[in-house]
Structure 1
Amino acid sequence: MTLPYRLLVVCSFIVCAIAAPAQQLPALKPILDAQIGNSVIEIPPGKYLLDNLTNGAYQFINKNNVTINGNGSSIICNSQELAFRFYNCTNITISNFSIDYDPLCFTQGTIVAKDSVSNLWYEVEIDQGYPVDNVRNSRVQFYDPATRQLKRNSITTSEGHYAAFEKIGPRRFKLTKSAAWVAYEKVGDLVVLDVVSAKPNPAAHAFQLEKCVNATVQDVSIYGSNSFSFFERDCSGTHYNRCKVGRGPTAPGIPARLRSGNADGIHSSYASIGPLVENCEIKHNGDDCIIVCGRSFPVCKIDSATNSIYVLSREANPIFYAGDTLQQVLYAGVKSGKMTVQSVVSYVPSAAEQQAIVAMYPDLLFKTSYTKGARIVVDSLPGMGIGDIIYNENHIGKGFIIRNNKVGYNRSRGILIKSGNGIVQNNEITGTAMNGLLVAPEIHWMGGGFGHHLEIKNNLFFECMFEKNNQGMPPGVLSVFCANGLAQVPAAGAFGQINVHDNTVQKSPYPAIVFTSVMGLQSSNNQVAPYPCNSREHGKKFGVTFTAPVWEKNNTQ
């Protein structure tokens, strides 16, 4: 694309942003419908309305060897829900467009009043040009008015933090706390809140791949989402190249946006072959920037006579296929035996089975949601106990590569890995409130799996771990960390064959690098610049010390 053409597209976008509400834009659906059988689908340069309020997400189903070329177009959704869904597609290429929302998926404003006596409420005046309808306190974040970045030594709050949330004026909301918790918020701070669709049960995320093989997503930018920006589930070999999650444009006179998507940037779940994510920029989103994961399941019943394992689940359709390999993890947190899936049927656990698991995992999140389950028949049953964990070794995104990306300025982790046989290389991770890179199964989430055969090299971490002290948070800017159901660091064997070398950590608290529970740890040439910020207590619950750049526990070479 030549420079004059780029300038033409940018100027066209600005004019539309000033003069044309989303509902007056040309409709995208007829353009796509007219080409739905083509091997090459072209979106002409311009700005379009994707009317997902009326039609829901635009879906591409069972497409093979299809190219969708956006030609630099801008696509505006009019409902805070899924924009595009690709299902059971093979060898598809999707490229060169942006997705945005009008109304946005969030709103923002300034704290204009605060309870200075009991610290139990504050009021937010919404900025001009930002939504005031369908506002929710499901994800409330505080920003520094000087830097317009997430507030240091603060926290992200949610509905559970509040006893009441009410609109008290045309552009003003009052948030009443459920307790006198402290986010060090003050009058003049900036606040971001979620905005939801007027539709009941809107589909989550912005761009979704499901059961797709060898999809290429290239030069696609997403400036908002009600949850994940890019989400893939049960895919194989996705390639994300030069994609972006970022703060979108605003018209003149309107304050610049503070947030991009409301949750994760690129979220890969249950992949049989993990994604290649390269040359991407994922920033300012409401949760993790890039994550590769599967799912773990606690064992609630065992029938040795039929080689059957019964597991709890909080999702209706966990992914197990005949022939898949299950990895067993002992309740103590160390990997043990493996087995092969013969068959799977759904199972409804009893109340007693649910309660037994919850008692064994006191920090388990979403406890009341573990009402579903599966009965899995395996080829042979290793020694197993109630409370052990299994995960599907074939669907944790093994073989992933994450390289040459720039991520950060977000409320959680830059990169989160729950997988194996992967590489994290040459990434810049900046301004993450929590870990810059975390390799962890996160048992309280029942995330899977437990990392193995990983190479982590040549990454730069800068100004990470600035969230308010949390003694239960996994420690470390670059962290390979495991805690079992009793919040204890397991013996070596939760992780295996981890090679960490030539990484650099700057302007971040000690310990900057953390390794636990690794059998076969190789660490060399990692550099930590001294930084006078060693009073943090992230991970103190697990016995972490804060006086040295590296903290290790229960590893073997």
Structure 2
Amino acid sequence: MYKVILSVWLLILAAASGAQQLPELKTVLDSQKGQAVIDIPKGRYLLNNAQYGAYQFTDLVNVEIRGNGSEIVCNSQELAFRFFNCTGIKISGFSVDYDPLCFTQGSIVAMDSTRTWFEVEIDPGYPVDHVRNDRVQFYDPVTRELKRNSITTGAGHYTSFDKVATNRFRLVKNAAWVANEKIGDLVVLDVVSSKTNPAAHAIQLEQCTRATVEDVTVYGSNSFSFFERNCSETHYNRCKVDRGPVQPGMAPRLRSSNADGIHSSLAGKGPLVENCEVKHSGDDCIIVCGRSFPLCRIDTAARAIYVLSREGNPVFNTGDTLQHVLYSAVKSGKVRIVSAAAFVPGAAEQDAVISKYPNLLFKTSYTKGVRIVLETLPDSIAVGDIVYNDNHTGKGFVIRNNKVGHNRSRGILIKSSNGAVYSNEITGTAMNAILVAPELHWMGGGFADNVTISNNTISECMFEKTNKGMPPGVLSVFCANGQLQVPPAGAFGNIGIYGNKISKSPLPGLVFTSVRSLSQQNNEVTEDPGNTREHGKNFGAIFDGPVWEKNNSY
């Protein structure tokens, strides 16, 4: 017996050090700089981002990077590849993984009778160093899927998080919340790089145009698996985000990336995402979004508005079009940008916004600002209104023929316009399967117009523990303003919902609010008796039928 255990541990130790024995990918890539085709001979490589950081490709034009089925292993939980200002590139045929992993997992082995604390013992072969409680998720030990009627917790849910043995951690709750956890449940926790402020995500594209990402698999990430910012016309085809392989003697992995699978932000023209599989991610599977900004001051004489931001380089280009949204969350007019420059908001300006949005997340991070001069100043504009760059919300997106789910959040999240979501298979999302919403507590943008959602097959969704403040509906077009009220029709416009099938999920299956020109037909919702939740009750949602609507026009 001793020899068997020793052999297993030797295999695990060999796996843990295996990445250090691999040939370095940097040498292969460096030797082909300037070539139109970069070929990675099929093999297993070390991407030594612990020493060099992410491998960066800059200003490439019509270059193809062929992975030929290679496996790429990162040795630090940080960004693997960064593509900046590239045009017409194609990236294909490889997988990205991490050793050590970006998460660890184990089981609850002890807790007190009042559930104020619990202890997690880490599975053999999984990381025990640099473990964090930033995203704590509970899994069913039988199905090895996210636990039903539970919640995902973060560092704010705990007063302390301590390593009490080599492979054991104790988490002490900050309140009497319950995730319906029990001894034997499986738990996943984040693992972070030893570096200070490591770069986030696995594969990142910035300011790239017409990039193709094809047959690329990501088995882990410290945040998003695929992240694009301020790009245009990206094509994701047959890409995959899923749980990776393990060495003999290790329990199968429970999670893939720590956060979103494919995240498109601020795109000039939105992505085409097709034939992809995005599963077991720590947050949303696929998202297309922009960014909204609350107004904190208005200079009428100068035709200038001042907005708060929690990011340092928001996208406001001269000549771009701003969409103005009233505080009620109804879209108003559009206006051109003349100029934009940073400014530092004062406490009064910050307080003016926070008082309007008491549920705003990351309030203390809104320390930056932008002064925007406009061609004309809307008559109705006021402090507390929001604006977003209408040129950078991912308009024209298409999301089709994908398989997504088995994650703690939404399957497909849309904050954009002029797009389509169709023929996707969505299974096992803890929250909405498809959500169209600006999510003002995140200051997400924008407010959707001209979107069609059709022929999607949805099953076993909305199983998280009831959250009455969460958007209701398995397939939901939903808006709540800063006062947590559902606005009148005009937040969204021209939305079509056709031929979708929803099963094994709580009612209501379909939710529509605040839509001007809503069209819906041939949708099928199969009731799941006994499977009830009260998500969205704070907004007046009703749970006794397949559809709940509020403030729409047809």
User: TM bucket by the smaller chain?
Assistant: over 0.9
After TM superposition, list the pairs within 5 Å mapping 1:479-494 onto structure 2. Answer: 479-494=476-491
Any idea what SS the aligned residue of 1:166 has? strand
- What amino acid does structure 2 have at the position aligned with 1:176? V
Map of 1:224 onto structure 2? 220
How far the C-alpha of 1:356 sits from its partner, in A, is 1.1
Map of 2:229 onto structure 1? 233
Map of 1:187 onto structure 2? 183
TM score, norm. by length of structure 1 = 0.96
- The reply to whether residue 39 of structure 1 matches residue 29 of structure 2 is no
Task: State how far apart, in whole Å, the 1-side matches of 2:211 and 2:17 are.
Answer: 34
How far the C-alpha of 1:15 sits from its partner, in A, is 13
How far the C-alpha of 1:18 sits from its partner, in A, is 5.2
- The reply to whether residue 95 of structure 1 matches residue 92 of structure 2 is yes
Map of 2:6 onto structure 1? none
Contact 1:311 1:375 in 2 (8 A): yes
Corresponding residue to 1:202 among 198, 205, 208: 198
- The reply to whether residue 297 of structure 1 matches residue 297 of structure 2 is no
Task: State how far apart, in whole Å, the 2-side matches of 1:241 and 1:208 are.
Answer: 16
- The reply to whether residue 23 of structure 1 matches residue 20 of structure 2 is yes
Corresponding residue to 1:406 among 403, 406, 425: 403
Corresponding residue to 2:142 among 142, 146, 158: 146
Task: State how far apart, in whole Å, the 2-side matches of 1:355 and 1:476 are.
Answer: 33
- The reply to whether residue 527 of structure 1 matches residue 524 of structure 2 is yes
Corresponding residue to 2:455 among 438, 441, 458: 458
Any idea what SS the aligned residue of 1:470 has? coil
Q: Could you report, residue by residue, the CA deviation over 1:172-199 in whole angstroms, capped at 9, with x for unpaired residues?
A: 0000111111000000000000000011
Map of 2:438 onto structure 1? 441
Contact 1:108 1:258 in 2 (8 A): yes
Superposition misfits of 4+ residues, deviation over 2 angstroms: 14-20
Task: State how far apart, in whole Å, the 2-side matches of 1:53 and 1:550 are.
Answer: 51
Corresponding residue to 2:552 among 547, 551, 555: 555
Corresponding residue to 2:360 among 347, 364, 374: 364
After TM superposition, list the pairs within 5 Å mapping 1:38-57 onto structure 2. Answer: 38-57=35-54
Corresponding residue to 1:306 among 302, 307, 324: 302
Q: Could you report, residue by residue, the CA deviation over 1:196-246 in whole angstroms, capped at 9, with x for unpaired residues?
A: 001111000000000000000000000000000000000000000000000
Map of 2:541 onto structure 1? 544
Map of 1:271 onto structure 2? 267
Contact 1:478 1:514 in 2 (8 A): yes
TM score, norm. by length of structure 2 = 0.97
Corresponding residue to 1:499 among 496, 500, 503: 496
How far the C-alpha of 1:119 sits from its partner, in A, is 1.5
Map of 2:166 onto structure 1? 170
- The reply to whether residue 417 of structure 1 matches residue 394 of structure 2 is no
Task: State how far apart, in whole Å, the 2-side matches of 1:16 and 1:174 are.
Answer: 25
How far the C-alpha of 1:534 sits from its partner, in A, is 5.2
- What amino acid does structure 2 have at the position aligned with 1:416? L
Task: State how far apart, in whole Å, the 2-side matches of 1:541 and 1:368 are.
Answer: 26
Task: State how far apart, in whole Å, the 2-side matches of 1:496 and 1:510 are.
Answer: 24
- What amino acid does structure 2 have at the position aligned with 1:270? L
Task: State how far apart, in whole Å, the 2-side matches of 1:295 and 1:17 are.
Answer: 45
How far the C-alpha of 1:535 sits from its partner, in A, is 3.2
Structure 2: gaps spanning 5 or more residues = 1-10
After TM superposition, list the pairs within 5 Å mapping 1:63-102 onto structure 2. Answer: 63-102=60-99
- The reply to whether residue 512 of structure 1 matches residue 500 of structure 2 is no
Any idea what SS the aligned residue of 1:336 has? strand
Structure 1: gaps spanning 5 or more residues = 1-13
Contact 1:508 1:533 in 2 (8 A): no
- What amino acid does structure 2 have at the position aligned with 1:154? S
How far the C-alpha of 1:36 sits from its partner, in A, is 1.2
Corresponding residue to 2:335 among 320, 327, 339: 339
Contact 1:263 1:287 in 2 (8 A): yes
Any idea what SS the aligned residue of 2:51 has? helix
Map of 2:7 onto structure 1? none
Any idea what SS the aligned residue of 1:445 has? coil
Task: State how far apart, in whole Å, the 2-side matches of 1:456 and 1:254 are.
Answer: 41
Any idea what SS the aligned residue of 2:115 has? coil
How far the C-alpha of 1:448 sits from its partner, in A, is 0.1
Any idea what SS the aligned residue of 1:21 has? helix
Residue 210 to residue 19, structure 1, CA distance change in 2 (3 Å): closer
Q: Tell me the percent identity.
A: 68
Task: State how far apart, in whole Å, the 1-side matches of 2:405 and 2:293 are.
Answer: 30
After TM superposition, list the pairs within 5 Å mapping 1:372-387 onto structure 2. Answer: 372-383=368-379, 384-387=381-384
Contact 1:279 1:405 in 2 (8 A): yes
- What amino acid does structure 2 have at the position aligned with 1:355? D
How far the C-alpha of 1:253 sits from its partner, in A, is 1.3
How far the C-alpha of 1:533 sits from its partner, in A, is 3.4
Root-mean-square deviation (CA), in Å?
1.2
Contact 1:408 1:430 in 2 (8 A): yes
Any idea what SS the aligned residue of 1:29 has? helix
Any idea what SS the aligned residue of 2:441 has? helix
Any idea what SS the aligned residue of 1:357 has? helix
How far the C-alpha of 1:319 sits from its partner, in A, is 0.4
